[in-house]
Amino acid sequence: MELEQWKHAIKQGDPEQKRQAIRESEMFDIADIIDDLIAVLYEDNKALQEAVIDALIQRNTDLVVNKLLPLLREENASVRNAAIEILEAIGKDHVDLIGSYLEDEDKDVRLFVCDILGKFGTEKALNYLEKALSDEEVNVRNSAVMGIAKVPIERSVALLGQVLEREKDPWIRFSAIDALSQVGIPSCKDVLKNALHEEKNEVVIKALLEGLLKFHGEDSMQDTLFVFESLMVKKFSDMFETIIDLGVKLESDFDEKIAGPLGVYLSAYIRYTEDRWNAYRAANLLSKLGPYGEDIALDLLNGIDEPMIVAALLECLAKVGTEKSRAVLEHYAAKGNDKEKEISAQALERIKK
pLDDT at residue 251 tops 90: no
Cβ atoms 19, 27 nearer than 8 A:
no
Cβ atoms 33, 6 nearer than 8 A:
yes
At 339 the pLDDT is: 92
When the pLDDT of each residue in the chain is averaged and rounded to a whole number, the result is 89
Three-state SS letters, 189-244: HHHHHHHHHHCCCHHHHHHHHHHHCCCCCCCHHHHHHHHHHHHHHHCCHHHHHHHH
Mean pLDDT confidence for 63-70:
97
Among the listed residues 206, 204, 214, the one whose alpha carbon sits nearest the alpha carbon of residue 180: 214
**CA distance linking residue 324 with residue 3, whole number of Å:** 96
Q: Which residues contact residue 299 at a Cβ distance below 8 angstroms, ignoring those fewer than 6 apart?
A: 267
pLDDT at residue 250 tops 60: yes
At 133 the pLDDT is: 97
Enumerate helices (H) and strands (E) in the chain, giving the number of each: 22, 0
At 231 the pLDDT is: 57
Q: Which residues contact residue 48 at a Cβ distance below 8 angstroms, ignoring those fewer than 6 apart?
A: 15, 18, 19, 22, 40
Cβ atoms 13, 51 nearer than 8 A:
no
At 151 the pLDDT is: 95
Burial 247-263 (b: 16+ CB within 10 A, else e): beebeebbbeebbeebb
CATH architecture of the domain with range 121-212 = Alpha Horseshoe (1.25)
CA pseudo-torsion sign 68, 71, 73, 77:
negative
Mean pLDDT confidence for 34-57:
96
pLDDT at residue 186 tops 90: no
At 228 the pLDDT is: 59
pLDDT at residue 248 tops 90: no
pTM (predicted TM-score): 0.70
Q: Which residues contact residue 250 at a Cβ distance below 8 angstroms, ignoring those fewer than 6 apart?
A: 221, 224, 288
At 218 the pLDDT is: 43
CA angle, residues 165, 168, 174, in degrees to nearest 5: 75
Confidence of residue 223 (pLDDT cuts 50, 70, 90): low
Taking the chain, what is the end-to-end CA distance rounded to the nearest angstrom?
93
Reported as a single tens digit per residue, the pLDDT across 109-129 is 999 999 999 999 999 999 999
Q: Which helix (H) or strand (E) element contains residue 145?
A: helix 138-148
Cβ atoms 188, 158 nearer than 8 A:
no
DSSP 93-126: G-HHHHHGGGG-S-HHHHHHHHHHHTTT--HHHH
At 261 the pLDDT is: 75
Q: Which residues contact residue 67 at a Cβ distance below 8 angstroms, ignoring those fewer than 6 apart?
A: 34, 35, 38
Q: What share of the chain is helix, strand, coil (3-state, %, to 5)?
A: 80, 0, 20
At 249 the pLDDT is: 67
At 196 the pLDDT is: 79
Q: Which amino acid is at 228?
A: F
